[in-house]
Protein backbone atom coordinates (compact mmCIF):
# COMPACT_ATOMS: atom_id res chain seq x y z
CA UNK A 1 0.00 0.00 0.00
CA UNK A 2 2.71 2.44 1.10
CA UNK A 3 4.72 1.43 -2.01
CA UNK A 4 1.77 2.18 -4.30
CA UNK A 5 1.24 5.58 -2.71
CA UNK A 6 4.95 6.30 -3.06
CA UNK A 7 4.92 5.22 -6.71
CA UNK A 8 1.97 7.47 -7.37
CA UNK A 9 3.76 10.31 -5.57
CA UNK A 10 6.92 9.87 -7.60
CA UNK A 11 4.99 9.59 -10.82
CA UNK A 12 3.01 12.67 -10.06
CA UNK A 13 6.11 14.59 -9.00
CA UNK A 14 8.22 13.35 -11.94
CA UNK A 15 5.36 13.65 -14.43
CA UNK A 16 4.15 17.02 -13.16
CA UNK A 17 5.65 19.08 -16.02
CA UNK A 18 3.94 16.76 -18.50
CA UNK A 19 0.46 17.11 -17.04
CA UNK A 20 -0.67 20.42 -18.72
CA UNK A 21 0.63 19.16 -22.08
CA UNK A 22 -1.13 15.82 -21.62
CA UNK A 23 -4.38 17.61 -20.86
CA UNK A 24 -4.11 19.66 -24.08
CA UNK A 25 -3.20 16.62 -26.16
CA UNK A 26 -6.08 14.65 -24.65
CA UNK A 27 -8.53 17.41 -25.54
CA UNK A 28 -7.35 18.21 -29.13
CA UNK A 29 -5.28 15.21 -30.42
CA UNK A 30 -6.20 12.16 -28.25
CA UNK A 31 -4.61 9.74 -30.76
CA UNK A 32 -1.16 11.21 -29.78
CA UNK A 33 -1.67 10.24 -26.14
CA UNK A 34 0.33 6.91 -26.39
CA UNK A 35 3.44 9.06 -27.01
CA UNK A 36 3.37 9.78 -23.26
CA UNK A 37 3.91 6.08 -22.49
CA UNK A 38 7.66 6.33 -23.19
CA UNK A 39 8.52 9.16 -20.76
CA UNK A 40 6.26 7.55 -18.14
CA UNK A 41 7.99 4.19 -18.52
CA UNK A 42 11.36 5.91 -18.16
CA UNK A 43 10.15 7.56 -14.97
CA UNK A 44 8.94 4.24 -13.50
CA UNK A 45 12.24 2.54 -14.35
CA UNK A 46 14.24 5.37 -12.77
CA UNK A 47 12.15 5.17 -9.63
CA UNK A 48 12.67 1.39 -9.43
CA UNK A 49 16.45 1.75 -9.74
CA UNK A 50 16.52 4.41 -7.03
CA UNK A 51 14.43 2.22 -4.73
CA UNK A 52 16.67 -0.85 -5.25
CA UNK A 53 19.80 1.18 -4.74
CA UNK A 54 18.47 2.58 -1.47
CA UNK A 55 17.59 -0.94 -0.32
CA UNK A 56 21.01 -2.29 -1.32
CA UNK A 57 22.70 0.41 0.68
CA UNK A 58 20.90 -0.77 3.79
CA UNK A 59 21.13 -4.53 3.26
CA UNK A 60 23.94 -6.97 3.86
CA UNK A 61 24.28 -8.79 0.51
CA UNK A 62 25.36 -12.09 2.06
CA UNK A 63 22.64 -12.63 4.63
CA UNK A 64 20.01 -10.20 3.34
CA UNK A 65 19.85 -8.78 6.87
CA UNK A 66 19.80 -5.04 7.54
CA UNK A 67 23.36 -3.74 7.72
CA UNK A 68 24.99 -1.39 10.24
CA UNK A 69 23.55 1.72 8.61
CA UNK A 70 20.05 0.22 8.61
CA UNK A 71 20.42 -0.78 12.23
CA UNK A 72 21.42 2.76 13.13
CA UNK A 73 18.32 4.10 11.38
CA UNK A 74 16.12 1.50 13.07
CA UNK A 75 17.66 2.41 16.43
CA UNK A 76 17.06 6.12 15.84
CA UNK A 77 13.45 5.36 14.93
CA UNK A 78 12.96 3.19 18.02
CA UNK A 79 14.41 5.93 20.23
CA UNK A 80 12.22 8.55 18.57
CA UNK A 81 9.14 6.38 19.20
CA UNK A 82 10.23 6.09 22.81
CA UNK A 83 10.47 9.89 23.00
CA UNK A 84 6.95 10.51 21.72
CA UNK A 85 5.41 7.55 23.51
CA UNK A 86 7.65 6.67 26.49
CA UNK A 87 7.70 2.91 26.89
CA UNK A 88 10.06 0.40 28.35
CA UNK A 89 13.26 1.59 26.71
CA UNK A 90 15.26 0.04 23.90
CA UNK A 91 17.80 -2.75 24.16
CA UNK A 92 20.71 -3.60 21.92
CA UNK A 93 22.65 -6.85 21.95
CA UNK A 94 25.83 -7.20 19.90
CA UNK A 95 27.02 -10.73 19.21
CA UNK A 96 30.42 -11.75 17.99
CA UNK A 97 31.55 -15.26 17.20
CA UNK A 98 34.65 -16.39 19.05
CA UNK A 99 37.40 -17.76 16.84
CA UNK A 100 35.43 -17.28 13.63
CA UNK A 101 38.50 -16.09 11.79
CA UNK A 102 40.39 -19.33 12.36
CA UNK A 103 37.29 -21.31 11.38
CA UNK A 104 37.05 -19.25 8.21
CA UNK A 105 40.71 -19.88 7.42
CA UNK A 106 40.40 -23.59 8.10
CA UNK A 107 37.16 -24.21 6.19
CA UNK A 108 37.56 -21.70 3.38
CA UNK A 109 35.65 -18.50 2.81
CA UNK A 110 32.71 -20.08 0.96
CA UNK A 111 32.01 -22.38 3.91
CA UNK A 112 32.51 -19.41 6.25
CA UNK A 113 29.91 -17.46 4.28
CA UNK A 114 27.46 -20.34 4.50
CA UNK A 115 28.03 -20.46 8.22
CA UNK A 116 27.21 -16.77 8.54
CA UNK A 117 24.00 -17.23 6.55
CA UNK A 118 23.09 -20.10 8.82
CA UNK A 119 23.72 -17.99 11.91
CA UNK A 120 21.59 -15.18 10.52
CA UNK A 121 18.76 -17.66 10.06
CA UNK A 122 19.19 -19.03 13.56
CA UNK A 123 19.03 -15.59 15.10
CA UNK A 124 15.94 -14.77 13.10
CA UNK A 125 14.25 -17.98 14.09
CA UNK A 126 15.26 -17.63 17.74
CA UNK A 127 13.77 -14.19 17.97
CA UNK A 128 10.60 -15.05 16.18
CA UNK A 129 9.93 -18.25 18.03
CA UNK A 130 11.80 -17.54 21.26
CA UNK A 131 15.42 -18.42 21.83
CA UNK A 132 16.90 -20.99 24.13
CA UNK A 133 16.03 -24.54 24.92
CA UNK A 134 13.22 -24.45 27.47
CA UNK A 135 13.50 -26.81 30.39
CA UNK A 136 10.51 -28.31 32.15
CA UNK A 137 8.24 -25.67 33.52
CA UNK A 138 10.07 -22.85 31.74
CA UNK A 139 8.42 -20.55 29.29
CA UNK A 140 9.37 -21.44 25.72
CA UNK A 141 10.16 -17.87 24.76
CA UNK A 142 12.67 -15.56 26.37
CA UNK A 143 11.30 -12.53 24.58
CA UNK A 144 8.88 -10.53 26.64
CA UNK A 145 5.58 -9.81 24.90
CA UNK A 146 5.92 -6.99 22.37
CA UNK A 147 5.21 -3.65 23.93
CA UNK A 148 3.14 -1.38 21.71
CA UNK A 149 3.02 -1.17 17.95
CA UNK A 150 5.96 -1.80 15.65
CA UNK A 151 8.13 -3.16 18.48
CA UNK A 152 9.50 -6.16 16.64
CA UNK A 153 13.16 -7.07 17.15
CA UNK A 154 15.57 -6.22 14.33
CA UNK A 155 18.40 -8.61 13.52
CA UNK A 156 21.27 -6.99 11.65
CA UNK A 157 24.70 -7.97 10.43
CA UNK A 158 27.27 -5.42 11.45
CA UNK A 159 30.02 -6.85 9.27
CA UNK A 160 32.37 -9.81 9.56
CA UNK A 161 31.12 -12.22 12.21
CA UNK A 162 29.31 -9.55 14.18
CA UNK A 163 25.54 -9.45 14.49
CA UNK A 164 23.20 -7.14 16.35
CA UNK A 165 19.75 -7.54 17.79
CA UNK A 166 17.75 -4.41 18.44
CA UNK A 167 14.93 -4.89 20.91
CA UNK A 168 12.56 -1.92 20.97
CA UNK A 169 10.48 -1.95 24.14
CA UNK A 170 13.05 -3.99 26.11
CA UNK A 171 15.15 -1.62 28.21
CA UNK A 172 15.46 -3.81 31.29
CA UNK A 173 19.10 -4.93 31.51
CA UNK A 174 18.31 -8.16 33.35
CA UNK A 175 15.85 -9.18 30.67
CA UNK A 176 18.34 -8.20 27.97
CA UNK A 177 21.08 -10.25 29.60
CA UNK A 178 18.76 -13.25 29.73
CA UNK A 179 17.93 -12.85 26.05
CA UNK A 180 21.63 -12.52 25.21
CA UNK A 181 22.41 -15.72 27.14
CA UNK A 182 19.64 -17.52 25.30
CA UNK A 183 20.91 -16.30 21.93
CA UNK A 184 24.41 -17.50 22.73
CA UNK A 185 22.96 -20.87 23.76
CA UNK A 186 21.04 -20.97 20.51
CA UNK A 187 24.18 -20.32 18.48
CA UNK A 188 26.03 -22.97 20.46
CA UNK A 189 23.76 -25.74 19.17
CA UNK A 190 25.94 -27.95 16.91
CA UNK A 191 25.92 -27.08 13.20
CA UNK A 192 26.70 -29.60 10.46
CA UNK A 193 28.81 -28.08 7.70
CA UNK A 194 30.52 -30.10 4.95
CA UNK A 195 30.36 -33.24 7.08
CA UNK A 196 31.85 -31.47 10.10
CA UNK A 197 29.99 -30.91 13.34
CA UNK A 198 30.76 -27.40 14.54
CA UNK A 199 29.98 -25.87 17.89
CA UNK A 200 30.14 -22.08 17.85
CA UNK A 201 30.84 -19.92 20.84
CA UNK A 202 29.82 -16.31 20.90
CA UNK A 203 30.25 -13.28 23.14
CA UNK A 204 27.56 -10.69 23.66
CA UNK A 205 27.55 -7.07 24.76
CA UNK A 206 24.35 -5.60 26.15
CA UNK A 207 23.42 -1.95 26.24
CA UNK A 208 20.10 -0.33 27.11
CA UNK A 209 18.50 2.98 26.33
CA UNK A 210 18.03 5.15 28.35
CA UNK A 211 19.91 3.45 31.24
CA UNK A 212 23.29 3.26 29.51
CA UNK A 213 23.17 5.57 26.54
CA UNK A 214 21.35 8.79 25.60
CA UNK A 215 21.27 8.35 21.80
CA UNK A 216 21.48 5.78 19.02
CA UNK A 217 25.18 6.27 18.22
CA UNK A 218 26.24 5.83 21.85
CA UNK A 219 23.95 2.83 22.22
CA UNK A 220 25.79 1.13 19.36
CA UNK A 221 29.23 2.16 20.52
CA UNK A 222 28.64 1.16 24.13
CA UNK A 223 27.19 -2.21 23.22
CA UNK A 224 30.45 -2.67 21.34
CA UNK A 225 32.47 -1.73 24.43
CA UNK A 226 30.48 -4.25 26.49
CA UNK A 227 31.07 -6.91 23.84
CA UNK A 228 34.80 -6.19 23.96
CA UNK A 229 34.74 -6.84 27.70
CA UNK A 230 32.77 -10.06 27.24
CA UNK A 231 35.36 -11.29 24.73
CA UNK A 232 38.26 -10.23 26.88
CA UNK A 233 36.96 -11.80 30.08
CA UNK A 234 35.51 -14.80 28.23
CA UNK A 235 32.40 -14.34 30.33
CA UNK A 236 29.85 -14.78 27.53
CA UNK A 237 27.64 -11.80 28.23
CA UNK A 238 28.60 -8.39 29.63
CA UNK A 239 26.41 -5.40 30.28
CA UNK A 240 27.77 -1.92 29.51
CA UNK A 241 29.55 -0.50 32.54
CA UNK A 242 30.60 3.13 32.40
CA UNK A 243 33.35 2.58 34.96
CA UNK A 244 35.10 0.21 32.52
CA UNK A 245 34.61 2.39 29.48
CA UNK A 246 37.75 4.31 28.61
CA UNK A 247 35.95 6.50 26.15
CA UNK A 248 33.39 8.31 28.25
CA UNK A 249 33.90 12.07 28.00
CA UNK A 250 34.71 12.18 31.72
CA UNK A 251 37.49 9.62 31.47
CA UNK A 252 38.90 11.04 28.25
CA UNK A 253 39.05 14.43 29.98
CA UNK A 254 40.60 12.92 33.11
CA UNK A 255 43.24 11.09 31.12
CA UNK A 256 44.14 14.20 29.11
CA UNK A 257 44.44 16.27 32.28
CA UNK A 258 46.55 13.58 33.96
CA UNK A 259 48.92 13.41 31.00
CA UNK A 260 49.29 17.20 31.08
CA UNK A 261 49.71 17.23 34.87
CA UNK A 262 52.57 14.72 34.58
CA UNK A 263 54.22 16.79 31.86
CA UNK A 264 53.88 19.99 33.93
CA UNK A 265 55.10 18.19 37.10
CA UNK A 266 51.81 18.97 38.83
CA UNK A 267 51.48 15.45 40.20
CA UNK A 268 53.02 15.26 43.67
CA UNK A 269 54.38 12.62 45.96
CA UNK A 270 53.45 12.36 49.59
CA UNK A 271 55.40 10.16 51.96
CA UNK A 272 54.00 7.90 54.65
CA UNK A 273 56.35 6.52 57.32
CA UNK A 274 56.72 2.87 58.22
CA UNK A 275 57.89 2.56 61.82
CA UNK A 276 59.12 -0.27 64.02
CA UNK A 277 57.59 -0.78 67.46
CA UNK A 278 60.53 1.00 69.11
CA UNK A 279 59.52 4.10 67.15
CA UNK A 280 62.42 3.96 64.69
CA UNK A 281 61.62 4.81 61.08
CA UNK A 282 62.28 1.86 58.76
CA UNK A 283 61.25 3.69 55.62
CA UNK A 284 58.67 5.80 53.83
CA UNK A 285 56.18 4.89 51.15
CA UNK A 286 55.77 7.36 48.30
CA UNK A 287 52.10 7.83 47.38
CA UNK A 288 50.95 9.93 44.43
CA UNK A 289 48.64 12.88 44.93
CA UNK A 290 46.98 14.78 42.12
CA UNK A 291 44.91 17.93 42.52
CA UNK A 292 43.10 18.28 39.24
CA UNK A 293 42.91 21.94 38.22
CA UNK A 294 39.65 23.41 39.48
CA UNK A 295 38.22 20.02 40.43
CA UNK A 296 39.93 19.02 43.64
CA UNK A 297 41.90 15.91 44.48
CA UNK A 298 41.37 12.75 42.43
CA UNK A 299 41.69 9.46 44.35
CA UNK A 300 44.89 7.60 43.39
CA UNK A 301 42.97 4.36 42.93
CA UNK A 302 40.85 6.08 40.28
CA UNK A 303 43.54 7.65 38.13
CA UNK A 304 45.99 4.79 38.57
CA UNK A 305 43.42 2.35 37.22
CA UNK A 306 42.90 4.73 34.30
CA UNK A 307 46.64 5.05 33.69
CA UNK A 308 46.98 1.27 33.81
CA UNK A 309 44.25 0.64 31.29
CA UNK A 310 45.31 3.40 28.91
CA UNK A 311 49.03 2.92 28.51
CA UNK A 312 49.98 6.01 30.51
CA UNK A 313 51.27 3.93 33.44
CA UNK A 314 54.93 3.68 32.33
CA UNK A 315 55.02 7.49 32.06
CA UNK A 316 53.50 7.90 35.53
CA UNK A 317 55.80 5.32 37.13
CA UNK A 318 58.81 6.94 35.54
CA UNK A 319 57.72 10.29 36.90
CA UNK A 320 57.14 8.84 40.39
CA UNK A 321 60.51 7.06 40.35
CA UNK A 322 62.30 10.22 39.24
CA UNK A 323 60.67 12.32 41.98
CA UNK A 324 61.14 9.69 44.69
CA UNK A 325 64.79 8.98 43.86
CA UNK A 326 65.43 12.74 43.68
CA UNK A 327 63.88 13.08 47.14
CA UNK A 328 65.98 10.21 48.52
CA UNK A 329 69.09 12.04 47.25
CA UNK A 330 68.00 15.31 48.90
CA UNK A 331 67.30 13.55 52.21
CA UNK A 332 70.65 11.79 52.07
CA UNK A 333 72.34 15.16 51.63
CA UNK A 334 70.62 16.24 54.84
CA UNK A 335 71.85 13.09 56.55
CA UNK A 336 68.42 11.43 56.50
CA UNK A 337 69.29 7.92 55.36
CA UNK A 338 65.76 6.50 55.12
CA UNK A 339 64.79 4.16 52.32
CA UNK A 340 61.77 5.06 50.21
CA UNK A 341 59.30 2.63 48.71
CA UNK A 342 57.68 3.27 45.34
CA UNK A 343 54.58 1.41 44.17
CA UNK A 344 54.88 -0.20 40.78
CA UNK A 345 52.05 -1.68 38.83
CA UNK A 346 52.18 -5.20 37.37
CA UNK A 347 52.26 -3.58 33.92
CA UNK A 348 55.54 -1.82 34.78
CA UNK A 349 57.25 -5.04 35.70
CA UNK A 350 56.18 -6.57 32.39
CA UNK A 351 57.54 -3.59 30.48
CA UNK A 352 60.83 -4.43 28.73
CA UNK A 353 63.72 -2.37 30.02
CA UNK A 354 61.99 -1.50 33.28
CA UNK A 355 64.87 -2.71 35.48
CA UNK A 356 67.40 -0.72 33.43
CA UNK A 357 65.28 2.44 33.74
CA UNK A 358 65.13 2.04 37.53
CA UNK A 359 68.92 1.66 37.59
CA UNK A 360 69.18 4.78 35.40
CA UNK A 361 67.28 6.92 37.94
CA UNK A 362 69.50 5.66 40.77
CA UNK A 363 72.71 6.37 38.88
CA UNK A 364 71.59 9.84 37.81
CA UNK A 365 70.89 10.84 41.41
CA UNK A 366 73.81 8.85 42.81
CA UNK A 367 71.56 6.97 45.17
CA UNK A 368 72.52 3.44 46.30
CA UNK A 369 70.07 0.77 45.13
CA UNK A 370 69.41 -0.34 48.69
CA UNK A 371 67.81 3.03 49.44
CA UNK A 372 65.00 2.25 47.01
CA UNK A 373 62.31 -0.30 47.60
CA UNK A 374 59.68 -1.30 45.07
CA UNK A 375 56.25 -2.37 46.25
CA UNK A 376 54.78 -4.88 43.87
CA UNK A 377 51.24 -6.02 44.36
CA UNK A 378 50.39 -9.61 45.01
CA UNK A 379 48.22 -9.47 41.88
CA UNK A 380 51.39 -9.68 39.82
CA UNK A 381 51.88 -13.22 41.03
CA UNK A 382 48.57 -14.30 39.57
CA UNK A 383 50.12 -13.79 36.21
CA UNK A 384 52.84 -16.39 36.32
CA UNK A 385 54.94 -14.69 33.72
CA UNK A 386 58.54 -15.44 32.93
CA UNK A 387 59.24 -11.83 32.01
CA UNK A 388 58.03 -10.54 35.39
CA UNK A 389 60.25 -13.06 37.17
CA UNK A 390 63.27 -12.04 35.05
CA UNK A 391 62.69 -8.32 35.71
CA UNK A 392 62.38 -8.88 39.45
CA UNK A 393 65.55 -10.98 39.49
CA UNK A 394 67.41 -8.27 37.56
CA UNK A 395 66.25 -5.58 39.99
CA UNK A 396 67.32 -7.76 42.87
CA UNK A 397 70.79 -8.12 41.30
CA UNK A 398 71.09 -4.34 41.15
CA UNK A 399 70.41 -4.39 44.90
CA UNK A 400 66.92 -2.82 44.78
CA UNK A 401 64.79 -4.18 47.60
CA UNK A 402 61.34 -5.52 46.95
CA UNK A 403 58.19 -5.63 48.99
CA UNK A 404 55.06 -7.67 48.36
CA UNK A 405 52.09 -5.31 48.75
CA UNK A 406 48.45 -6.01 49.61
CA UNK A 407 49.33 -9.46 50.91
CA UNK A 408 46.30 -11.64 51.55
CA UNK A 409 44.25 -10.40 48.60
CA UNK A 410 45.89 -12.29 45.76
CA UNK A 411 46.06 -15.91 46.95
CA UNK A 412 49.75 -16.41 46.21
CA UNK A 413 50.94 -19.91 46.56
CA UNK A 414 53.71 -20.70 48.98
CA UNK A 415 55.85 -21.99 46.15
CA UNK A 416 55.57 -18.70 44.22
CA UNK A 417 56.22 -16.72 47.34
CA UNK A 418 59.36 -18.69 48.09
CA UNK A 419 60.75 -18.13 44.62
CA UNK A 420 60.22 -14.36 44.66
CA UNK A 421 63.10 -12.04 45.42
CA UNK A 422 61.10 -10.03 47.97
CA UNK A 423 62.40 -9.10 51.41
CA UNK A 424 59.22 -7.67 52.88
CA UNK A 425 55.58 -8.54 53.00
CA UNK A 426 52.87 -5.96 53.59
CA UNK A 427 49.68 -7.28 55.09
CA UNK A 428 46.71 -5.72 53.36
CA UNK A 429 44.83 -2.95 55.11
CA UNK A 430 41.53 -4.80 54.84
CA UNK A 431 42.72 -7.51 57.27
CA UNK A 432 44.56 -5.15 59.61
CA UNK A 433 41.68 -2.72 60.00
CA UNK A 434 39.24 -5.49 60.95
CA UNK A 435 41.51 -7.71 63.04
CA UNK A 436 40.35 -6.35 66.39
CA UNK A 437 36.70 -6.91 65.59
CA UNK A 438 36.99 -10.08 63.54
CA UNK A 439 38.75 -13.28 64.60
CA UNK A 440 39.10 -14.51 61.03
CA UNK A 441 40.95 -11.38 59.99
CA UNK A 442 43.14 -11.69 63.09
CA UNK A 443 43.91 -15.28 62.09
CA UNK A 444 44.89 -14.18 58.57
CA UNK A 445 47.27 -11.60 60.03
CA UNK A 446 48.78 -14.12 62.47
CA UNK A 447 49.30 -16.76 59.75
CA UNK A 448 50.81 -14.18 57.39
CA UNK A 449 53.32 -13.11 60.04
CA UNK A 450 54.33 -16.72 60.70
CA UNK A 451 54.58 -17.52 57.03
CA UNK A 452 56.66 -14.43 56.28
CA UNK A 453 59.03 -15.05 59.16
CA UNK A 454 59.49 -18.69 58.23
CA UNK A 455 60.56 -17.48 54.78
CA UNK A 456 62.92 -14.90 56.29
CA UNK A 457 60.82 -11.88 55.29
CA UNK A 458 60.03 -8.86 57.41
CA UNK A 459 56.37 -7.97 57.92
CA UNK A 460 54.76 -4.55 57.69
CA UNK A 461 51.11 -4.10 58.64
CA UNK A 462 49.38 -1.28 56.73
CA UNK A 463 46.33 0.75 57.72
CA UNK A 464 46.96 0.87 61.48
CA UNK A 465 44.55 3.43 62.90
CA UNK A 466 44.28 2.71 66.63
CA UNK A 467 46.26 1.67 69.69
CA UNK A 468 44.53 -1.66 70.13
CA UNK A 469 45.51 -2.79 66.63
CA UNK A 470 49.05 -1.56 67.27
CA UNK A 471 49.23 -3.68 70.47
CA UNK A 472 47.84 -6.81 68.82
CA UNK A 473 50.29 -6.48 65.93
CA UNK A 474 53.13 -6.04 68.38
CA UNK A 475 52.07 -9.22 70.22
CA UNK A 476 51.97 -11.13 66.95
CA UNK A 477 55.56 -10.19 66.17
CA UNK A 478 54.95 -7.83 63.25
CA UNK A 479 58.13 -5.90 62.43
CA UNK A 480 56.76 -2.51 61.43
CA UNK A 481 53.50 -0.66 60.99
CA UNK A 482 52.20 2.01 58.67
CA UNK A 483 48.98 3.92 59.17
CA UNK A 484 47.22 7.03 60.32
CA UNK A 485 48.01 6.18 63.96
CA UNK A 486 51.63 7.00 63.17
CA UNK A 487 51.14 9.51 60.38
CA UNK A 488 49.17 10.02 57.19
CA UNK A 489 51.13 10.49 53.97
CA UNK A 490 52.81 13.92 54.14
CA UNK A 491 54.02 16.35 51.47
CA UNK A 492 57.81 16.25 51.07
CA UNK A 493 58.53 19.32 53.23
CA UNK A 494 56.36 18.07 56.10
CA UNK A 495 57.86 14.59 55.81
CA UNK A 496 61.30 16.19 56.07
CA UNK A 497 60.28 17.99 59.27
CA UNK A 498 58.79 14.77 60.62
CA UNK A 499 62.02 12.88 59.86
CA UNK A 500 64.26 15.57 61.35
CA UNK A 501 62.46 15.22 64.69
CA UNK A 502 63.29 11.49 64.69
CA UNK A 503 66.66 11.90 62.99
CA UNK A 504 68.57 9.81 65.44
CA UNK A 505 66.04 7.00 65.47
CA UNK A 506 66.48 6.10 61.82
CA UNK A 507 68.84 3.15 61.35
CA UNK A 508 71.31 3.52 58.50
CA UNK A 509 70.05 2.04 55.26
CA UNK A 510 72.94 -0.36 54.91
CA UNK A 511 72.08 -2.11 58.20
CA UNK A 512 68.49 -2.84 57.20
CA UNK A 513 67.40 -6.38 56.41
CA UNK A 514 67.34 -7.19 52.68
| Binding positions for Ca ion, rule: CB under 5 A | 343, 375, 405-406
DSSP string, 245-306: -TTSHHHHHHHHHHHHHHHTT--EEEEEEEEETTS-EEEEEEEEEEEETTTEEEPHHHHHHH
Region label for 477, one of left (φ > 0), alpha (ψ between -120 and 50) or beta (otherwise): left
Min separation Cβ 427 and Ca ion, Å:
9
Does position 463 bind ligand C2E by CB under 6 A? yes
Q: Could you tell me which of 258, 326, 262, 334 has the C-alpha nearest to residue 506?
A: 334
Gap between the Cα atoms of 88 and 99, Å rounded:
35
Min separation Cβ 228 and ligand C2E, Å:
24
Choose among ligand C2E, Ca ion, none what residue 301 binds, the Cβ cut-off being 5 to 8 Å by kind: ligand C2E
Gap between the Cα atoms of 274 and 10, Å rounded:
83
Among 95, 116, 131, 304, binds ligand C2E (CB under 6 A): 304
Gap between the Cα atoms of 219 and 427, Å rounded:
43
Does position 484 bind ligand C2E by CB under 6 A? yes
Choose among ligand C2E, Ca ion, none what residue 489 binds, the Cβ cut-off being 5 to 8 Å by kind: ligand C2E
Beta bridge partners of 298: 290
Q: How much of the chain is in helix, strand and coil states, percent to nearest 5?
A: 55, 20, 30
Helices (H) and strands (E) in the chain, counts: 20, 17
The nearer residue to Ca ion, 161 or 462, going by C-beta atoms, is 462
Within positions 12 to 71, which residues make up the interface with ligand C2E, using CB under 6 A? Answer: none
Among 351, 396, 483, 495, binds ligand C2E (CB under 6 A): 483
The nearer residue to ligand C2E, 408 or 463, going by C-beta atoms, is 463
Choose among ligand C2E, Ca ion, none what residue 287 binds, the Cβ cut-off being 5 to 8 Å by kind: ligand C2E
Does position 457 bind ligand C2E by CB under 6 A? no
Does position 465 bind ligand C2E by CB under 6 A? yes
Helix spans in 455-510 (H):
467-476, 492-501
58 burial (CB, 10 Å; 0-12 / 13-18 / 19+) is middle
The nearer residue to ligand C2E, 132 or 463, going by C-beta atoms, is 463
Does position 300 bind ligand C2E by CB under 6 A? yes
110-119 b/e with 16+ CB inside 10 Å = b? ebbebbbebb
Does position 320 bind ligand C2E by CB under 6 A? yes
Gap between the Cα atoms of 242 and 120, Å rounded:
30
The nearer residue to ligand C2E, 240 or 290, going by C-beta atoms, is 290
Choose among Ca ion, ligand C2E, none what residue 304 binds, the Cβ cut-off being 5 to 8 Å by kind: ligand C2E
Choose among Ca ion, ligand C2E, none what residue 458 binds, the Cβ cut-off being 5 to 8 Å by kind: none
Among 245, 257, 378, 406, binds ligand C2E (CB under 6 A): 406
Does position 216 bind ligand C2E by CB under 6 A? no
Work out the widest C-alpha separation in the chain, in whole angstroms. 122
Does position 344 bind ligand C2E by CB under 6 A? yes
Choose among ligand C2E, Ca ion, none what residue 83 binds, the Cβ cut-off being 5 to 8 Å by kind: none
Min separation Cβ 377 and Ca ion, Å:
7
The nearer residue to ligand C2E, 184 or 340, going by C-beta atoms, is 340
Amino acid sequence: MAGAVLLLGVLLAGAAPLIPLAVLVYRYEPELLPLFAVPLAVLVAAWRIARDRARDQLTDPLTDLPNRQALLIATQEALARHETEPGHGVGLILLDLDRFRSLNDALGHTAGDRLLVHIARRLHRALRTGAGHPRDGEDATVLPPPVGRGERPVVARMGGDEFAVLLPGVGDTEVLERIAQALIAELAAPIRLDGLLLVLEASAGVCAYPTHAPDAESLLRRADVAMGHAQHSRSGVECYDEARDLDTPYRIGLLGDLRRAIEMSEVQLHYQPKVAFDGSVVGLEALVRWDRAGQGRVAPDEFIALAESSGLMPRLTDYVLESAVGQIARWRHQGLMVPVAVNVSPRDVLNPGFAARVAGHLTRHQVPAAALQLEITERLLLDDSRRAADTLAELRRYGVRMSLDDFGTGHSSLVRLRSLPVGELKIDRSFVSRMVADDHDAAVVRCSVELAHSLGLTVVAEGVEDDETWERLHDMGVDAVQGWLVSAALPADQATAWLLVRRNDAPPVESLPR
